Amino acid sequence: MKSVYIFTEIVDGQHSRISLYNILSTLLKKRGFNLVIVQYGLTSEASIIHDNFDIVRCKDFPSRYLQLFRILSLISYRDLVVIGGYGHFYLWIVRIFSIFRTSSIFCWLGSSSRTSNSNSVIANMVKQLFLKSITSIITYGKDSSDYYRKFLPSSKIYTGMNCSDTNYFSEINFSRTNYFDTPTQKLKILVVSRLVEHKGVPSLLRELKISEMTIRHNIDVNIIGDGPYKFDPYCYDLSGVRFLGSKGVEDVRNSMIHSNILIQPTLYDPYSRVLSEALSTGMFVVASKYDSSTSALLDNPYVELYDPRIPGSLEVALNKIIYRFNRKKILRSDIFSQSPFDINKYALTLFNMLMSD
């Protein structure tokens, strides 16, 4: 049986990526391919559910290089190879070795001009050499697609919509409504983010404190995530704000189902998946325009964008959502129906790329 080998540094516990692989594997089996995920450089022994594809771990150093070469030796001319980037030495080993094993080599990338802005002529030449030698690439979002057009013709670029497991996040929302009555009742806002400066949570907390927004609008803000700013006394000194720490995927989904609005405050994010999770669970969304995934949400009636670098922009966007939906019972399934994010479509885009050769 022919195989598709995906070389990646995915870590155990990434629920959405595993779901994506399960869907992709089902599509590939119909065309006579077995899916093999090669995880490189891991230290975790945690188990993950993968009944639909194979996983090979190359985690021990230095023996992981021997493991890697053993895997590469199994690749035949009929197999397909997918490389998850070019920024690590082992990926170059995979790329060079694959030249002699198969004619079909693909890349799965998410960089943009902002994340890969290099002034090094040599670095850019090496990157161009790497990319021009592959069959096709899959990326996600307009920023990434535009960036890779500098190196490849459009015919070699497949653009997907990176997302979480929309099937999982939406499966229990169909009979539920998203309803709030402010200021009579608490408006429940959720933030899911790492607590670091560039993710925008510290800036969000400072704006909430200065504007006293939580008091004036009768808002409860729950923050799921971990990072250095959780220890900042200034951030803790806020009425209506609770830090819940790091949570698993089930707890995140449960929090979303019991909240009204997600705020995504990032100062820069190449393509987050949290918006796909929020819309799948039927949340209204107020999102930073610096999240590249918002390019697909410009006309979505349940989403408002704002500029976290401009004081007051958040409250303007939040007021629009409140004015539009206060005291209105909106089915969470209706919100999901307007979401452009779909893990099944993402898997299909991957499949179409692999079958394009």
pLDDT tens for 168-207 read: 999 987 789 999 998 889 999 999 998 888 899 988 988 8
In a structure prediction context, what are the per-residue pLDDT tens digits for the chain, which is 357 residues long? Answer: 899 999 876 554 577 888 899 999 999 999 999 999 887 765 444 445 566 888 877 765 567 677 778 888 888 888 999 988 666 777 778 878 887 777 788 888 776 666 555 566 776 777 777 777 788 888 887 778 888 888 888 888 998 888 999 999 999 877 899 999 988 899 999 999 988 888 999 889 888 888 888 888 899 999 999 887 655 666 666 778 898 989 989 999 999 999 999 999 999 877 789 999 999 999 999 999 998 889 889 999 999 999 999 999 999 999 999 999 999 999 999 999 999 999 999 999 999 999 986
Query: Whose structure tokens read 């195989």?
Result: 3
Domain ranges, ordered by start, for the chain: 2-161+342-354, 167-337
Buried b (16+ CB within 10 A) or exposed e, 213-252: bbeebebbbbbbbbeebbeeeebeebebbebbeeeebeeb
Task: Please check whether residue 48 is in contact with residue 18, taking contact to mean a CB–CB distance below 8 angstroms.
Answer: yes
The one-character DSSP state at 175 is: T
Task: For residues 95 and 89, give the distance between their C-alpha atoms in angstroms, rounded to a whole number.
Answer: 10
Q: What dotted CATH number matches 2-161+342-354?
A: 3.40.50.2000
Give one DSSP letter per residue of 97-160, joined into a string: HHHTT-S-EEEE----TTTS----HHHHHHHHHHHHTSSEEEEESHHHHHHHTTTS-GGGEEEE
Question: In 3-state terms, what secondary structure has residue 34?
Answer: strand
Written out in words, the top-level CATH class of the domain with range 167-337 is alpha beta
* Total residue count of the chain as it appears in this document: 357
Task: For residues 323 and 104, give the distance between their C-alpha atoms in angstroms, rounded to a whole number.
Answer: 53
Task: Please check whether residue 282 is in contact with residue 261, taking contact to mean a CB–CB distance below 8 angstroms.
Answer: no
Task: For residues 294 and 341, give the distance between their C-alpha atoms in angstroms, rounded to a whole number.
Answer: 11
Task: For residues 19 and 49, give the distance between their C-alpha atoms in angstroms, rounded to a whole number.
Answer: 9
167-337 shares the fold of 2-161+342-354:
yes
